[in-house]
Amino acid sequence: MLGIYLHVFQQGIQSSQNPKMKLIMKHLLILTLVIPFFLSCNNGETGGSKEGKAKVNITPPNPKTPQQTRVIRVLTTNYWIVNMFIQIKHHELNRVNQGRWYKFNKDGTFEVGRFSETISKGGWRFYYSGEDALVELDAENPEEDGAWKIKIASDESIMIWVGTEQYGSNSIQQRLENLLFIPKNRKEMGLDE
């Protein structure tokens, strides 16, 4: 079909005696070939919505063991606030990351923010890789994506997250504390301003 269309256009261009008409026909031919290409182009993005946010995978947790049920219950209780952040050779990042918080919901969604600001939303999942318990984050903002090995204190009020090679965060450890509310500032966390 396209071959016939191009042949008819080419005949029209060649048979036209008017130079302006030839130029118009050539431009129309180029436009009819180029416009569909641009309409199907997505600028190299893989997914995403009209607002430019990445499409996230959200799957509600489905615990299969009592231990998985416990971890999911602990994760989805209140807010998890970062009160210590350690990255090898980047000690200054501790202060910048204190006050970050995570809110995990039972439907597989989460929010992340810092003090009163929400930074991103997305989906989370919990799984085991060998002996390691991991939580994986798939956020609208790709900078918030990650997989973290987690350790939960016996009283369930503290978690330690250790980064993974998969996301290049294996030089990072975070200590998170479970709180009822998001702190508004460093002072509410008992930290110096």
| Domain assignments of the chain as residue spans, ordered by start | 2-40, 66-189
Task: Residue 117: count other Cβ atoms within 10 Å of its Cβ.
Answer: 10
Sign of the four-CA dihedral 158, 161, 139, 144: positive
Condensed to tens digits (0 to 9), the pLDDT of residues 141-168 reads: 999 999 999 999 999 999 999 999 999 9
The per-residue pLDDT for range 164-184, each reduced to its tens digit, is: 999 999 999 999 999 999 999
State the pTM of this model: 0.71
Average pLDDT per 10 consecutive residues for the chain, totaling 193 residues: 48 60 59 45 38 72 93 97 96 95 97 97 95 96 96 97 95 97 94 86
CATH topology of domain 66-189: Lipocalin (2.40.128)
Tokens 């947790």 correspond to 61
